Every structure is written in structure tokens, then in C-alpha cells.
Amino acid sequence: MTDVQTLSASHPAPGVLSRIFRTEQDGAPNDGHEQVVLCHDRASGLKAIIAIHSTALGPALGGTRFFPYVSEEAALEDALNLSRGMSYKNALAGLDLGGGKAVIIGDPNTAKNEAMLRAYGRFVQSLRGRYVTACDVGTYVQDMDVVARECDYVTGRSPEQGGAGDSSVLTAFGVFQGMRASAQASWGQPTLRGRRVGVAGVGKVGHYLVGHLVADGATVVITDVSEAAVNRVRAAYPDVEVVADTAALLQARLDVYAPCALGGALDDHTVGALGAAGTAVVCGAANNQLAHPGVEKDLAGRGILYAPDYLVNSGGVIQVADEFESQHKGGYNFDRAKTKATKIFDTTLEIFTRATADGVPPAVAADRLAEKRMREISALRSVLLPGARQG
């Protein structure tokens, strides 16, 4: 599940059609995408891609990323990878939802406008519920409120509009649960008290994660390219240490490294640096952290416990799934969603146990469990329901 940021000459991307239609990659099933929609509204300037990876478990739910991609091809690559990750995330979270993702090409700080968001909403609406959208990098609750003016299949709206609000809250909570499970597996206690935790990226999710870590008694070291994001954390938690960049963070004698920015954070160089510094655990909020196949084996070989990203960062999708599924059942309930997100602790421990038993890295064990659920539940469509449309 490689993020577009990691593409290089050493790991080239295949052709466009083969990336969409492929049915197997590195031995993993379900890699082909069901549907990819190119959306262009000339009047507003909208250029968007909606990628539906799988609806085996239900409607494809995933956020909308607004990002200044270097090319349309890079945007497509990101949409394909992110949507595949959502299939695995939703499956492992126990949700009756498939995987999808959308990207809007452009700088969200300068290109975003009401007409563009509403045009995008109409394209989502045209899919009639096959894809359900939410916030992601570059999009916010107020954006989803605008999209929802043209579309019924929107989550992550403001509470004033009947939505769940900022999903970063439960995303951070879920990552913290995964980190607690990692501590249990590594040191015998489900706490970060006395541990040194480095957080790379303290924007949407990272600053909430810092709050959980400080409350738990961890020593926290942070870095972010945004000075404003760093200053916000400093103001709330004055004892947090700040380093200049990720390179400095990797050398900061960490027990736990938490990548919470864009994907591709775990490449060969980074894993080597973590191993040399004696870091024991990697557990963070970023999507698609593994820069290329084989990184998960390198982590395991160096004795670094990796908590699979799409497992531990699923708190946000659990939140928006509750919002979506409860629209006709009394509305969103934060406590109910938080209770579901608490189970990330147990699922993470289960993945570690399966990985040890099978002699594979945790990332492989997580993929296997997600694929098993998608395969078994989708097979239920073979059971005839009289009077109901099959499929």
C-alpha cells in the first residue's frame, strides 16, 4: 500500500490500466479496482478522481484528499493506493463497508471554492451510494458540509448539520490504543509511561495523539514542517520536546516512532536509522507507511515491532461509519463510536499473536485477516434472499 510520495526509479509504477485491472500483486488477492471515476468540472476548475477498490463488504467509504499533485498520474496512483488501504482498514475494523478514496487535484489553500466542492458532491451523488466520502488531508468538516449540499453520501459533517464532526479525535484515540497494545507486547504493560515517543507530524491527528501520550506519562518529542502546528502543541503541552526535522527525530533515542504525516514514511533509510537508534516500536497515524514491499520484513528483521497503519488509524473511519449508519437510527453517538474504537487495542494484540504464530511480520498477518473477512463475507451473496436483488 505505497503512497504516491514514495514512487521512485527503484520502485517504478506499472501502467495505468494494469494498476486498475490487476488481480494480484505480491501474492495478495483483491488488488484490482472495481471502478475509477474521473471528474472534471470546467467552470469551477474541479479535477478529481474517485477510486472504488472493493464493495465486497458494503458501500466503499473513504475520505477526500485535496492535494497539489505534481501530475494527474501521481494523483491516480495515490487514489488507487489509498482506496485499497481503505478496503483493508474497514475490513479489519469489522465494518460492513468497502474501500474507496477520492483525490482533488490542487492546492487546498488557494484553489478550493464552494462551486468546486459542490460540483464534486454532484459527482459523488451520481454513484448513488457506491462511494461514501469524508474528510482527509486538505479537507475539513466545513468542506463536507458544502459537499453535502449536493450529495446524500457524505460523512464527517459538522454537529450543526447532524454529523460527527472532526474524525481526527477518534483517529488519534485509536492510534493510542494500538500504541498501548504495542507497549503490552514489547514491555509487558499497556502504558507509555516512562517511554520516549517521537511524533512526526502534529497536524490533524498528531496533536490529539500528543495529548494522550502526555496524559499517559510519556516523554514526547515532535517535529512538523508547519511552525503553526508545532506552536499549537507547545502552547498546550510546554514540556514537549521539539526537533528540527524527521532526520533529527529518528536520532532522538526513541522507544516508539509515530509517523503521522503523509505516507511512505518507512523507507529503507528510515528503517535503518530506527534500527541503529534502538527504536522498539513503530505505531502512527499516517496511511500507507510502508514505502515498498519488503519494508515490513526489514522492520521485523531488526527487531522493530510494527503496528500496521490501517489497523491502528481506523478510529476515524469507525467514527464516520457510525455517523453514516446511524443517519436513520437516531443519529451519531460519540460514546458508541469510541467504544468501538477501543477494540483497536484487542485487534492489535490479536495481530501480533497471529504474526508470531505464523512466523510472519504483523503487516502480513493483518493483510491475511482482512482478506479472509472480505472473502468470507462477500461469499454470502451466493445465498439467495427471495424478493431481494442479489449482489
Which cell is 199 given? 511524533
CB neighbours of residue 239 within 10 Å = 8
Q: Report whether pLDDT(391) > 80.
A: no
Q: Mean pLDDT across the stretch 267-277?
A: 96
Other Cβ atoms within 10 Å of 262 Cβ, number: 19
Residue numbering of the annotated binding site for NAD(+): 201-206
**pLDDT value, residue 28:** 45
What's at 288, amino acid-wise?
N
Residue 290 phi/psi, 5-degree rounding, is: -75, 115
> 123 pLDDT exceeds 90?
yes
Polymer length of the chain: 391
| Residue 272, pLDDT above cutoff 70 | yes
Residues 246/223, Cβ–Cβ less than 8 Å: yes
What average pLDDT does this structure show over 247-273? 95
Q: What is the 3-state secondary structure (H, E, C) of 47-80?
A: EEEEEEEECCCCCEECCEEEECCCCHHHHHHHHH
* Model confidence at 2: pLDDT above 90: no
Question: Predicted confidence band at 204 (pLDDT cuts at 50, 70, 90)?
Answer: confident
What is the side-by-side strand order in the sheet with 219-223? 241-242, 219-223, 196-200, 256-259, 281-282, 305-306
CATH of domain 169-313+346-371: 3.40.50.720
Tens of pLDDT, residues 247-256 = 999 999 999 9
List, for residues 295-306, the tens digit of each pLDDT value: 999 999 999 999
All cell numbers assigned to 377 = 463475507
Please give the DSSP secondary-structure letter assigned to residue 387. T
Of 234, 230, 189, 196, the C-alpha closest to 213 is 196
In sequence order, which ranges of 188-294 are alpha helices (DSSP H)? 206-216, 227-236, 246-250, 268-277
289 confidence band (pLDDT: 50, 70, 90): very high
Do 23-83+97-162 and 169-313+346-371 fold alike per CATH?
yes
Q: What does the alpha-carbon distance between residue 223 and residue 73 come to, in Å, rounded to a whole number? A: 30
Q: What is the structure's pLDDT at 45?
A: 97
Q: How many Cβ atoms sit within 10 Å of the Cβ of residue 214?
A: 18
CA dihedral 237→242→246→252, nearest 10 degrees, is -100
**How many angstroms separate the CA atoms of 147 and 155, rounded?**
10
The CATH class of the 23-83+97-162 domain is alpha beta
Is 25 a residue whose pLDDT tops 70? no
Q: Report percent pLDDT > 70 for the chain.
A: 91
Q: Please enumerate, by residue number, every residue annotated as part of a binding site.
A: 201-206
45 neighbors 105 (Cβ within 8 angstroms)? no
Digit-coded pLDDT (tens) for 84-95: 999 999 999 999
Task: Please check the confidence at residue 277 and state whether its pLDDT lies above 70.
Answer: yes
- Does residue 380 surpass a pLDDT of 90? no
Cα diameter, the chain: 63
Measured distance CA(366)–CA(347) in Å, rounded:
9
Reported for 212-216, long-range contacts at CB under 8 A and 24+ positions apart, including other chains, are: 212/172, 212/173, 212/176, 213/176, 213/179, 214/239, 214/240, 216/176, 216/180, 216/191, 216/192
**Would you name the residues annotated as active-site residues?**
101
Please report, for the chain, the start and end positions of each structural domain, with discontinuous segments joined by +. 23-83+97-162, 169-313+346-371
Question: Hey, what's the torsion of the CAs at 296, 298, 300, 303, to 10 degrees?
Answer: -140
Which of 80-94, 119-133, 375-389 shows the lowest per-residue confidence on average (mean pLDDT)? 375-389
Orientation of helix 315-325 relative to helix 72-92, angle to 10°: 80
Its sign, for the CA torsion 206, 289, 5, 19, is negative
Average pLDDT over residues 218-225: 97
Kindly state the average pLDDT of the residues 137-163: 94
State the pLDDT at residue 5.
43
Task: Write down the pLDDT at residue 332.
Answer: 86
Beta strands in the chain (DSSP E): 35-41, 46-54, 60-61, 64-67, 98-105, 131-132, 196-200, 219-223, 241-242, 256-259, 281-282, 305-306
Q: Are residues 33 and 292 in contact, defined by beta-carbon separation less than 8 angstroms? A: no
